[in-house]
Amino acid sequence: MTRKAAALACAAIWIAAAQPVDRTKPPATPPIPSYKLPPVHQSKLGNGLTVEMVEDARFPLVTVRLVFPEAGSKTDPAELAGLAEASATLLKEGTRTRASRQIAEELAAIGGTLDGNAGRDAVSISAAALAEHSGKLLELVADVARHAVFPPEEVRLYQQNQKQRLAARRAQADYQADERFSAVLFGPHPYSRISATPESIDRLSPEGLGKFRDTYLTPAQAVLIVLGRTGPRAALLRQIEQRFGDWEQKPVPVRPTVKPPDPKRKIVLVDRPGSVQADLRIGQLAASYADPNHFPLMAGNGILGMGTSSRLFLNIREAKGYAYQANSIVSRFREGAYFSVITQVRNEVVAPAIEAVLAELDKMAREPVTAAELSSIKNFISGVFVMGLESQGGLANQLALVKTMGLPNQYLETYTTKVRSVEPGQIEQAAATYIAPGDATIVVVGDAAKIGDAVRKFGEVEITKAQ
């Protein structure tokens, strides 16, 4: 390049850099691509175990999810709340042929991880390792799923730790609010319980945990997802057959159908003497995955209470200064869902804060959202979804969610299209059904002596003691 050409290039760069930038407008968001699910090759063993294999050769890793969609905490007897969680957590603490330490050492030797988890709808085993050790990883997953023995000393240690965790959680007002809110919303349904109790923890035993495993961790209702650099499918399927093929098939007990109570306005004040602020939960039962309002409600909730540009944040925090944080969520399960506004406010502003939240909920149900709000939330939801599927673990988790919720795999491929298809009228309709405050449950955790009169402005109040 000549000296003159170099000078001209520098001048061009300087002129471009000197162009004014309009900082009042965010940069344009490029179109979010639709998600294309990699080929999912499904097979079924003779004992009913469903196997899904997905090739991902980008990394020398293999990720495994073994999902039991009918084994979550919704199966816990009331007197044994926390049974599913304890069983899942303790699966890797010893089997018929391996002690807890041996399992940990074998995982470390293959660069692997393995954990059991329990949600309200399912128990799952999550594992990953270097691809060259996929056979060993599958062996360990099969061993803990089929042959866990729940050693008494591990059960005792779990009980001690779990009671300490529960005491620490219940010392927090936000946990008290979540616990009471779920109890009011779901009533007799098992979803009403979000944790164990000290009494149910004490009732845990190796025999009871083993009975849970034998009853609910069975191949007939299980899905094994193997994702990564798996190699030839036929060889992988032979490895799976060797480790899981002789697993005894058993029917899973059919649970009685229990309906949550019909939505209606209920106000509960959980008395927590000495609190200098109040934790609020305002919401009601909402649209589950199978409901046509699923995607409109998702978008509406995002506009209302997701992030620092949401209506609740801008009003409750920025405009009025009632709270440091205000947001809303939609939590979905296989047999139901709920919408909830979450915030913490000073005692002296409890009444105006509740009024402001209710006004925002009412507005969502009466007025169409703006084009700018809708465009922004569609981009945000679609972008987060697509980014979350970039990793092996993210895709494995979504495939496990699809199986747990009884959805088709196409749910993942059509997700962004359905998000983009949401219209303002659909959001307004969904909000009128699931967000409008007429039937909202209001739970307030705080000092009843200081905030009781403020809460009573909104109707008859049931006062309970903090646990």
pLDDT at 257: 86
Residue 271, classed as helix, strand or coil, is strand
pLDDT at 263: 86
The CA distance from 13 to 10, in Å, is: 5
Cα separations (Å) of 1 from 4, 16, 319?
A: 8, 20, 57
Contact yes or no for 144/114 (Cβ under 8 A):
yes
263: left (phi over 0), alpha (psi -120 to 50) or beta: beta
**DSSP H or E stretch at residue 430:** helix 424-434
pLDDT at 283: 97
DSSP state of 437: G
pLDDT digits 0-9 by tens, 309-362: 999 999 999 999 999 999 999 999 999 999 999 999 999 999 999 999 999 999
pLDDT at 254: 86
Domains of the chain with CATH codes: 40-244 (3.30.830.10), 266-465 (3.30.830.10)
Query: What DSSP line would sit under 134-198, residue for residue?
Result: HHHHHHHHHHHHHHB---HHHHHHHHHHHHHHHHHHHTSHHHHHHHHHHHHHHTTSGGG--S--H
pLDDT at 6: 52
E-strand stretches of 89-139: 113-118, 123-130
Contact yes or no for 62/228 (Cβ under 8 A):
yes
The CA distance from 275 to 303, in Å, is: 31
Contact yes or no for 138/125 (Cβ under 8 A):
no
List the one residue out of 48, 50, 86, 416 whose CA is nearest residue 252: 48
Contact yes or no for 296/304 (Cβ under 8 A):
no
Which residue ranges of the chain lie beneath pLDDT 50?
1
* Reported pTM: 0.89
pLDDT at 255: 85
pLDDT at 368: 95
